[in-house]
Amino acid sequence: MSPVQLADAPLALAAATPAAWLRTHLEPRLGGTAPGDWSGLDRLELPRLRELHALTMASRGASPAAAAKWLCGWYAGGVAAAIGLALVTAEAALVPAAGQVRWRVNPGGWPDAYSLGALRVVVAAGHPWAGQPGVDVVATLEGVRAAALAAAVAVASPLVERCSKVAKVGRVSLWAEIADCYGLAAAGHPDVPVRQRVAEAVAAAVALPEAPWRARPVLVAEQTPIGPTWLSQKGGCCLDYQTVEPVAVQPVADEPVAAEPVAAEAVVEPEPRPYCDTCSLRDFADCASRQLRARQVAASSAE
């Protein structure tokens, strides 16, 4: 494998206006106009998060720490991902008012839609959106990165603080989840072309010294046997490997089965999950080979 060498367009995801960019690349994935149980930071206080935490553990077999990290990633990380996507693909900072951000809470406990509310957009001088209504202009791209980071942190900070209190999970670990969402959103978006420029933008975005996270995700654009491909590794660990799914023990065929087995005979053995293919507990080479193998299988199945 080798790094992708392609003639990069100025922007990976371009549009004539911020509204057109949002309508084309972000709003279809946010689902922000659907009816349902919408909650903002004012409703996602600690008591409500404790309810969602208990629901996540009960319905998904998650450990207390894993459920807390998932909640933080689902809610705060989802908004951070939207902000990070705009930064690395359009070189623009989406700055929502934290009090206007809303999540539609699924009965299962996770958010299945987001609304960023009224947005301020920040771009550097010379950007195609500079001078348009609702767009602030700063001198450099470094200023845009700083504005995007501040916006993501403003929304995430209250949820990181609250999620650190629903289980024994540290703020450092929770911020790693936010960093992964912020930095790796481009890899999961179907519109984003595999380009070295995007990978470099991700590296710059997550490396700002004022960022509250210590661990950083890695995104690499590689030329592989199946074409240009994103390969990634998270800076943190979602603790999904601590999740257990009950596997009922089947009786041996030649042994009689009691008509009314007692509880001791209804043994359930937990089957722990392995680390994710992007997990920081693997090395990057292992993550890359697993991701490439999975995509090769998917490509063969689609033929």
DSSP assignment of 168-220, as one string? T--HHHHHHHHHHHHHHGGGG-TT----HHHHHHHHHHHT-TT-S-SS--EEE
266 pLDDT higher than 50: no
Beta pairing class for 93-96 and 111-115: unpaired
The residue-averaged pLDDT of 108-114 equals: 92
Percent of the chain with pLDDT over 70: 86
Long-range contacts of 105-111 (CB under 8 A, 24+ apart): 105/36, 105/37, 105/38, 105/39, 105/52, 108/55, 108/59, 109/52, 109/55, 109/56, 109/59, 109/71, 110/56, 110/70, 110/74, 111/74, 111/75, 111/78
pLDDT score recorded for residue 162 = 98
> Mean pLDDT across the stretch 266-276?
62
> Is it the case that residue 246 has pLDDT exceeding 50?
no
Least confident residue range of 66-70, 218-222, 230-234, 239-243: 239-243
pLDDT digits (tens, 9 = 90+) for 198-214: 999 999 999 999 999 99
pLDDT surpasses 60 at 251: no
This model's pTM is above 0.85: yes
Please, what is the average pLDDT of the chain?
Answer: 88
Torsion region of 185: left, alpha or beta (phi above 0 gives left; psi -120 to 50 gives alpha)? alpha
pLDDT in tens, 49-90: 999 999 999 999 999 999 999 999 999 999 999 999 999 999
| 98 vs 263, more confident | 98
Task: Provide the pLDDT for residue 254.
Answer: 42
A 10 A CB-CB count for 51 gives 12
The yes-or-no verdict on residue 44 having pLDDT over 60 is yes
pLDDT for res 2: 55
3-class state of residue 67 by DSSP:
helix
Could you report the per-residue pLDDT of 119-168, keeping only the tens digit for each?
999 999 999 999 999 999 999 999 999 999 999 999 999 999 999 999 99
The pLDDT value given to residue 1: 59
The number of CA neighbours under 13 Å toward the Cβ of 222 is 17
- Residue 89: what pLDDT? 96
pLDDT of residue 10: 75
Position 260 pLDDT exceeds 50? no
Residue 285 has pLDDT above 60, yes or no: yes
d(CA 225, CA 249) in angstroms, rounded, equals: 42
pLDDT band for position 170 (cuts 50, 70, 90): very high
